[in-house]
Amino acid sequence: MVLLDAYAVLAVLLGEPAGAELRPHLAGGDATIHPLNLAEVIDRLTRLAGANPDDVEADVALLGISVADTNGDDLVDAGRLRARHYRRGTCDVSLADCVAAVHAVRRRLPLATSDRPLAEVVRREGGRVVALPDSRGRRP
């Protein structure tokens, strides 16, 4: 099982190169996303691309991406994680990034991301990263 951050799902939905790298995980049914990161995907595609939120959620489900179970402790601990690691300009991790990081590390799931600061935080916390290329082809 691999945990996808919002960018990873957007890459799949928008046909970006990083999305192609995730196809084996999707075909194997071993891709999941935290509900907060799914909310990011819905928000971004609705606001910026004019998509219907229900259609976005359905598209994610049709891709075989499951929505992860979570608990309040993960959300609270994401605040602690961000407080430990956030540094403006050098480690700009969002709270949603930290939710994904906590979820991945606690459940020993690799996190698929192209976000360099997020990848660094996950690695510092003892987690694993599936390093995806960003829009410029760079990997974290």
Residue 136, pLDDT score = 87
Tens place of pLDDT per residue across the chain (140 aa): 999 999 999 999 999 989 999 999 999 999 999 999 999 999 999 999 999 999 999 999 999 999 999 889 999 999 999 999 999 999 899 999 999 999 999 999 999 999 999 999 999 999 999 999 998 899 99
Q: What are the domain boundaries of the chain?
A: 2-131
And the tokens for 106? 């606690």
CATH 1.10.40.30 fits 2-131, yes or no: no
Q: CA quadruple 105, 11, 94, 39: dihedral positive or negative?
A: negative
5: number of Cβ within 10 Å? 29
CA atoms within 13 A on the CB side of 12: 25
Q: What is the pTM of this model?
A: 0.94
Give alpha helix (H) positions in the chain. Answer: 6-13, 17-27, 35-49, 53-62, 72-85, 95-107, 116-124
